[in-house]
Structure 1
Amino acid sequence: MDETRRSDRTRAAILTAARAEFAKSGFQSATVRTIAADAGVDPALVIRYFGSKEQLFQAALDIRLELPDLTAVPADRLGEQVIRHFAGKWEDETFREASIFLFRTAMTNEIAAERMRAVFREQVIPHVASLLADPAEAEQRAAAVMTQLLGLGACRYVIGVPPLVELEIDTLAARFGPTIQRYLTAELG
């Protein structure tokens, strides 16, 4: 195995252990030593990769939605495509783990809550604005979209509500896409 892949695996193991430990113990009680032990590495490696416990916490909160370019998608199919992308991202174990950690932690930690707001400001609003004839509506429309996506994510992937967990992504897109569609294209009222 080459050094880059080993380094990536070590970094990923540390982040996985950090998310679990921060979620279980909270930022204040979590220790670099415990995180390192759970990751199977020396504590010095945690500091080498992340610099400090605070920087590790910030890295653990980092979420990249990698929203696709939807400008070529027919306007009446936007909602379905958003749901497909969102559900597809959550099906990825690494993304799901990071998202669940961020979601849970944001409920009780202001740093995590601010990170969620930053994802909304930096990733969601500009993306929604690119789809609209009136970009001034982007913030309101993006907020509406986020309510649906966060609710769906929480119910399907965090809580595990059985009817939602059992649905195929195409069925999710067909059922929830129209709501996202409305948020993106219907009159704001």
Structure 2
Amino acid sequence: MLVTLAALAALASGADCGLKNLAACPHTNLLFWDRAFQRAVTAFVGHGRANYSYSGDRAEQQLNVLGGAPDDPVRIGELYRFTACRPHSCDEKGAVVLEPSGKIVATAILYFNCGGSGRSCAKQPTFTLFVRDPSRAKPVADNLTAWAKAAADDMYVGENMPARHLDHVEVFSVSTGVPKPVKLNQIGPR
């Protein structure tokens, strides 16, 4: 009985959570601290400059929005969707969709385009989605876009401020190892 309780406690705490054991991850934060996960996300989106939350490394910014307050994982068929927000800035959010084996299918970032020299942040959020295989990404892209729209709609707005809405969606294929823009109508069924 005591062994069973200890095993249940370890499972509930996510003790074995990691890229190779997604089912043991009760929320995104535990997965985020797995070094294999961080390396996989970095390899997936690649290095390079981007102006998402700030002007800086694209992979660093993608990881940054996965390291704050976590959400519980959601299943998209057999796939796992993990989401979280940027530490101390929960209007900026991130998502990653993985196969049960730990292979990344897509990552995403919801942000206010604050990069660039001397310009202020956009008033409405932009959603950037990176997909491994655009020809098979439609269900994942639809799920992540719906998640981003709901997140934008739920954002706090102060008195006399316009409601938030998703301003722009952009999709990049990372199938070649270098992000290349893809039109939404080029994303196919699975």
Q: Which has the larger radius of gyration?
A: 1
Question: Structure 2 length normalisation: TM-score?
Answer: 0.28
- Name the structure where helix makes up a greater proportion of residues: 1
- Name the structure where strand makes up a greater proportion of residues: 2
| Higher relative contact order (CA closer than 8 Å, sequence separation 6+) | 1
